[in-house]
Amino acid sequence: MDNLTHSMAGWVLGQAGLKTESRKGLAALILGANMPDIDVFFGWVPWEPLSIHRGFTHGLVGGVLVMPPILAGLLLLLDRWQVGRGTVFRSGLEMRPWRLLALCYVGAITHPMLDVLTTYSVQLLSPFSSGWYHSDGLFIIDLWIWLFVGGAIFWSKRREKRGGAWRTPARTAIAVTLVYIAANLAISARAGADVRAWAGQRPVDAIFASPPPFYPWRRDMVWREAACYRRASYSPVAGLGSVGGCEPTGLDDPLVRRTIAGSASLHKFLKWSILPQARVERSGCDARVYVGDARYGPPGQSRLARETTLKTC
């Protein structure tokens, strides 16, 4: 998900009371919740699990086990430097290193837990497995979570300044968010079951149920059936809508293979892509090749698609 949502996840846990466990507790929660996205700076490295976004740093090994002690160590060094300068901490809290480490772990684990709820997917078992995991419960940016979690944080901070019961709004927001997520997961599971029922005996796999930005109860469905992809819309009231025709993957086209073979960026994109799809538009001696991922629309219509122009004569 977006980094604002990740930051709010750590912040709301802090406002629920966890930030009082140690000095720099809130920083540990917020930075820990964002820390796995450091992999966006490592696309150039030769080690594939790290060079792929949502790979090693988002997994249970890299993101949840390895990185929190590094963050805790950096925060402890910062605190020691501040103490050496005579800094007076307004919170009045003591530095409790082991509790600070625990808060780094709590913040870190929220990141893959949120990301796995989207269709972008996460390599949870990296580097031991390159498999992608997703549960399709939330859009990549969920405005409703922004509203009620962000509102709860604001209300909690306001109460805190006035000496009121500041933990209650945050705890309420956490409970409401969990119910909201559970409801969305149930909708996606029902949508996937309806796709399988429509397919009958025909094998389907890689079913994705993407919630649109403003209507979290709806789903844009896409799935693989043999050598093609199909699409449909879904809502709990109307059920599965009209299923679209077979969209070929397009990867067997010689021009597509030539384009992929000559592009390092496309190689990386296809390592991330779960439903790769390509399309070629020919015009005289020019050919425009689109390579994208069917989760985010047909090639040429998706903002994630890569476009390459080739000379064919």
Please report the pLDDT score of residue 187 as a whole number: 97
Encoding tokens for residue 250? 């397009």
d(CA 148, CA 163): 22
The C-alpha angle with vertex 253 and arms to 248 and 257, in degrees rounded to 5, equals 120
d(CA 43, CA 55): 11
Please report the pLDDT score of residue 221 as a whole number: 96
Chain centre to alpha carbon of residue 265: 21
Residue 1 to residues 8, 137, 262: CA-CA distances in angstroms?
A: 11, 11, 31
Which residues have CB under 8 Å from 267's CB, separation 6+? 260
d(CA 237, CA 218): 9
Global pTM? 0.90
Encoding tokens for residue 229? 């992809």
Q: Per DSSP, which regions of the chain are E strands?
A: 205-210, 219-225, 228-235, 239-240, 247-248, 276-283, 286-293, 306-311
- The parts of the chain modelled with pLDDT lower than 50 are none
107-117 confidence digits (pLDDT tens): 999 999 999 99
Contact 171, 153 (CB under 8 A): no
54-90 confidence digits (pLDDT tens): 999 999 999 999 999 999 999 999 999 999 998 888 8
3-class DSSP assignment, residue 223: strand
d(CA 265, CA 283): 25
d(CA 22, CA 75): 11
Please report the pLDDT score of residue 155 as a whole number: 96
d(CA 123, CA 145): 24
Residue 178 to residues 35, 74, 220: CA-CA distances in angstroms?
A: 22, 31, 22
d(CA 266, CA 277): 12
Intra-chain end-to-end CA distance of the chain, in Å: 44
Please report the pLDDT score of residue 236 as a whole number: 95
Contact 18, 25 (CB under 8 A): yes
Nearest to 20 by CA among 127, 92, 104: 92
d(CA 126, CA 59): 6
What is the 8-class DSSP label of residue 226?
Answer: T
Encoding tokens for residue 82? 């501040």
